[in-house]
Amino acid sequence: MKILMVCLGNICRSPLAEGILTHKVKENGLNWEIDSAGTAAYHVGNLPDERSIEVATKYGIDLTSQRARQFKANDFKEFNVIYAMDTENYNNILNLAKYETEEQKVKLILNEIEPDSNSSVPDPYYGGEEGFENVYQMLDLACEEVLNKFK
């Protein structure tokens, strides 16, 4: 199984989603590949935001080997499922798809815990640390569902 997590900058939400799901996958002894990317290029090559690193560390998850990269067309071929963190990025990814088979791979991550709600993981970038805790908790629940769905 190959799963890609996508947000805007690939420094706040999708690195947390990658780290959380990677942790669960390893705990379950599964040989899945988990990665993350951003639709925007502003932060390419950067470490995750220090607030994401901090909240993940609190739960025993290390994000410091991650570096931001931009989503690319080849990701549609490389991954089985592409999870967008919010509706804006969901639409931006869909706009890059060339085939229906590519479109079908793109999902909103919170629909795994609230089917058909089409809700978004709030962007915590301009807020305080409590926003990162909130994002962590949402993504932990969603990643647990993803794990159980495909394992």
* Residues near ligand 4NP, by CB under 6 A: 7-13, 38, 42, 123, 125
Active site residue 67: no
Q: Answer whether 35's CB lies under 8 Å from 25's CB.
A: no
CB of 114 to ligand 4NP, least distance (A): 19
Residues forming a β-bridge with 136: none
Of the candidates 12, 13, 75, 143, the residue annotated as catalytic is: 13
CB of 8 to ligand 4NP, least distance (A): 3
Active site residue 123: yes
Give me the residue whose beta carbon is nearest to ligand 4NP: 9
Distance CA 3, CA 35 (A): 6
CB of 99 to ligand 4NP, least distance (A): 26
Q: Considering the complex, state which of residue 135 and residue 146 has its C-beta at the smaller distance from ligand 4NP.
A: 135
CB of 133 to ligand 4NP, least distance (A): 14
Distance CA 46, CA 53 (A): 12
Distance CA 80, CA 77 (A): 8
Of the candidates 49, 75, 86, 123, the residue annotated as catalytic is: 123
The angle, 0 to 180 degrees and rounded to 10, between the axes of the packed helices 50-58 and 13-27 is 30
Extract the tokens encoding 11: 């420094």
Active site residue 143: no
Collapsing DSSP to helix, strand or coil, 47 comes out as coil
Give me the active site residues, please: 7, 13, 123
